[in-house]
Structure 1
């Protein structure tokens, strides 16, 4: 969890949407639910909650998809990066931790949606590690705020 006063920033892959939050980022979790899997195209997603009033869009705005009767998911309408999960009638919003400029600052404290966890997920630590050699050519926004992009 971050304390008040810690300003964290992040954004989408293309840089069209950027945000800052002064936290606190609470309850970091690893979610395995089927909606998260489909929304992110991944076996699991890490989230942390932040008060809605503490989250500020510094570039662009998110588009939203009402993924259930009770919640909406925010994403960049330019590149499709999933960014938020917002329960309706709640004072908090969940931020996809991998969209932070420094996601390594947060480790999940629990897992949810385990009924949909991929059967192979508990063994991922046994997979062979491979590094990507060289610098891949990327159009991805850098992991920090910029005055303009591109």
Structure 2
């Protein structure tokens, strides 16, 4: 079930941005990296990966901010809601993800791990029973995600 895709819809707070996509709804993750903390103003961000090539916007598209050498973050220019992290390189589109909070039915999502747990704020405790990967595990994480979600995986 973790590796199956589910058709979802979602959007921003004000409704200007709407999207639909096939996502790995039952294999989400809690990201504790400092970039996610700063971009959301929260201790972590919870996201689900999108099946490459299935994200389609209905109406307006997000504005983007390039937040690292690997990706850009899409948000609504009107209400500021964060919607998507998108890979800068086309071949890495399989890493593109949407925020669980932007889903129309966020309660259906399931998280399976923490990432960048070495920068988890010491007072923030949620889903502590899940496996935790640190920033030093980044290569392991990318390979794990590649095996789970890349369209050309065996």
Q: TM-score, normalised by structure 2?
A: 0.73
Structure ranking higher in helix proportion: 2
Alignment match, 2:57: 57
Higher relative contact order (CA 8 A, sep 6+): 1
Question: Aligned ranges for residues 9-24 of structure 1 at < 5 Å?
Answer: 9-24=9-24
Alignment match, 2:125: 122
Structure of greater Rg: 1
Structure 2 Cα separation of the partners of residues 23 and 47 of structure 1? 10
Structure 1 residues 43 and 2: CA distance shift in structure 2, 3 A:
same
CA-based RMSD of the aligned residues comes to 2.2
Structure 1 Cα separation of the partners of residues 127 and 103 of structure 2? 23
Structure 1 Cα separation of the partners of residues 81 and 126 of structure 2? 27
In 2, are the aligned partners of 1:22 and 1:55 still within 8 Å (CA)? yes
Alignment match, 1:131: none
In 2, are the aligned partners of 1:30 and 1:45 still within 8 Å (CA)? yes
Alignment match, 2:150: none
Alignment match, 2:43: 43
Classify the secondary structure of the residue corresponding to 2:23.
Answer: coil
Q: Per-residue CA shift, 1:41-97, capped at 9, x if unaligned?
A: 111110111134111101211110000111110111111101111122212211001
Q: TM-score, normalised by structure 1?
A: 0.75
The answer to whether the aligner puts 1:72 opposite 2:72 as a matched pair is yes
Structure 1 residues 10 and 2: CA distance shift in structure 2, 3 A:
farther
Structure 2 Cα separation of the partners of residues 88 and 114 of structure 1? 24
In 2, are the aligned partners of 1:26 and 1:50 still within 8 Å (CA)? no
Structure 2 Cα separation of the partners of residues 2 and 112 of structure 1? 18
Structure 2 Cα separation of the partners of residues 120 and 19 of structure 1? 34
In 2, are the aligned partners of 1:2 and 1:23 still within 8 Å (CA)? no
Structure 1 residues 108 and 61: CA distance shift in structure 2, 3 A:
same
